[in-house]
Amino acid sequence: MNFIKIILIAIGLVLAAMLAFSVIGIVYSALWYLFLLGIVAVGGAIGYKLLMKEDVPLINETSMFSAVKSAELFCAKVTTFCLFVFNSLANLAPYSSSMLTTLDTGFSPKRPSKSFFFAA
């Protein structure tokens, strides 16, 4: 009986050692793949830095003037779009008060006839 216990303990120790070596192998291979991935990432970052043209910002009167001009153009486009949306919404709601439809735009839509909504 003691002999069987010794054999079972020996088999258990061998299986435990095999499990430990497999876990060590998995951890080692994962670290190796992370190391290789890091090398590729560093190479890609260096290649990107070397191949991309450096963009040196030049600050002078011309660039500042064009920046202000583009900002003014953007604001004008946004204002135009907002007025267009407001006028479109005013046209969709013909029975709203005339004060809302003429607010800042001077635009007053014509009210449709009742036959438009209640076709005979």
**Which of the four pLDDT bands, split at 50, 70 and 90, describes residue 120?**
very low
Residues 88 and 105 sit within 8 Å (Cβ to Cβ): no
pLDDT for residue 93 is more than 60: no
pTM (predicted TM-score): 0.38
Distances (CA, A) of 62 to 56, 68, 71, 73, 78: 15, 10, 14, 16, 24
- What is the model's pLDDT at position 58? 59
Is the pLDDT at 94 greater than 60? The verdict is no
| pLDDT for 68 beyond 50 | yes
Residue 89 has a pLDDT of 64
The full set of domain ranges for the chain reads 1-56, 57-120
